[in-house]
Amino acid sequence: QYQEEIQELNEVARHRPRSTLVMGIQQENRQIRELQQENKELRTSLEEHQSALELIMSKYREQMFRLLMASKKDDPSIIMKLKDQHSKV
């Protein structure tokens, strides 16, 4: 079956001028390069967004820790637990 399909593809290719095949390949190569560039830009954008989100979450955790510390001044065991959790994060 594989050989039959290869033979069929070769027959189709022979019926088209070589220049048409070359132009088709060049167009595909151009599209591939454009997609690769787009993927690179998307990866960079994703990394930037992840960094920003990590910074935002870090600041959020810090603020929540301060808020909880301020509201739980009376209970040192809770403060120690919060400090441990914050240091692990």
pLDDT, tens digit, for every residue of 1-19?
Answer: 888 887 887 777 766 666 7
What's the pLDDT tens digit per position in 74-86? 666 666 676 777 6
The CA–CA distances, whole Å, from 12 to 21, 55, 64, 70 equal: 11, 57, 68, 77
Specify the pTM.
0.54
Q: List the chain domain ranges.
A: 1-87
At 17-63, the pLDDT tens digits run 667 778 888 999 999 999 999 999 999 999 999 999 999 999 999 88
Cα dihedral 54, 79, 70, 57, rounded to 10, equals 10
What would the DSSP string read from start to end of 66-86?
HHHHHHTTT-HHHHHHHHHHH
Q: Token pair for residue 80?
A: 């120690």
